[in-house]
Amino acid sequence: MTTSTTIPIQIRVDKKTKEEASELFEELGTSMSGAVNMFLKQCVNTGSIPFRIKRPRPSKELLEAMEEAEAMAKDPNTPTYETMEELRAALEAE
């Protein structure tokens, strides 16, 4: 009779993160369990979190807003204002 050296653990993650991570791990040829095991083993091996903690990537909405702002900046028909008073007057006129 063999005894397993693995034990189950439970973690909580939001649904979207789980779905996106599962899809990624499948593409990489592993499972959620395999990826978590790799992460934990690297933590133990390095004595730290095995990656640099960074700010999140910009959201899709932010990237779209930045693209829109760039397009507006290049459009000669986009109104421009020299002062805040001009901008305020244009906003109030709408």
Q: What is the mean pLDDT of residues 8-29?
A: 96
With a pLDDT cut of 90, the percent of the chain lying above it is: 82
- 10 Å CB burial of residue 79 (0-12, 13-18, 19+) is exposed
Q: Is the pLDDT of residue 79 over 50?
A: yes
Q: Report pTM.
A: 0.53
What tens digit of pLDDT does each residue of 19-65 get? Answer: 999 999 999 999 999 999 999 999 999 999 999 888 888 899 999 99
Phi then psi dihedrals of residue 16, to 5 deg: -65, -45
